[in-house]
Amino acid sequence: MKVLGSSVNLPTDHIDLSIHGNLVAQIADLVKGLFMGTVRDQITDNVNKALRDSVPPALNKLIAEQKGETMIYNHMDLDWSIDSVPTINPQTLSFGIKGLFYPEKQGEVAPTVTVPKMPFKDSTSTSKF
């Protein structure tokens, strides 16, 4: 996963900056409005940097550790591995998962019937299905 861009809007009226201390701190508190924009910009830059640089590797690691399987409920696992290459276009990202539930201690048992192809909803189509 790679983040191509992020947009964080932190309204200045949602930032509360209090400065306490001696006379210098009191003077700084009086003029804090002058540097509030700089503080806001620094916060926004750090959030965008984290979204771009820290979140993707952490999510990639978490997904990789799952190995396409997750314990869902009460010792039931789900194999959500992807069977084919995803289809990506400007409007959609579509992919299929194996979607096989199985008891944790018994392992996967493939179904004896062919799984039907699932329909795909295309929001650009006038079709209601």
Q: Write down the domain spans for the chain.
A: 10-66, 68-122
Average the pLDDT over 37-66 and give the result. Answer: 82
Confidence of residue 84 (pLDDT cuts 50, 70, 90): confident
CB burial string 76-108: b at 16+ within 10 A, e below: ebbbeeeeeeeeeeeeeeeeeeeebeeeeeeee
| pTM of the predicted protein model | 0.45
Q: What is the pLDDT of residues 64-75, one digit of tens each?
A: 776 766 777 787
State the burial class of residue 117 (Cβ atoms within 10 Å of its Cβ: 0-12, 13-18, 19+).
Answer: exposed
What is the predicted pLDDT for the residue at 1? 66
Is 13 or 128 the better-scoring residue by pLDDT? 13
- Quick: pLDDT tens for 18-44: 777 777 777 776 766 666 777 788 888
Provide the pLDDT for residue 33.
Answer: 67
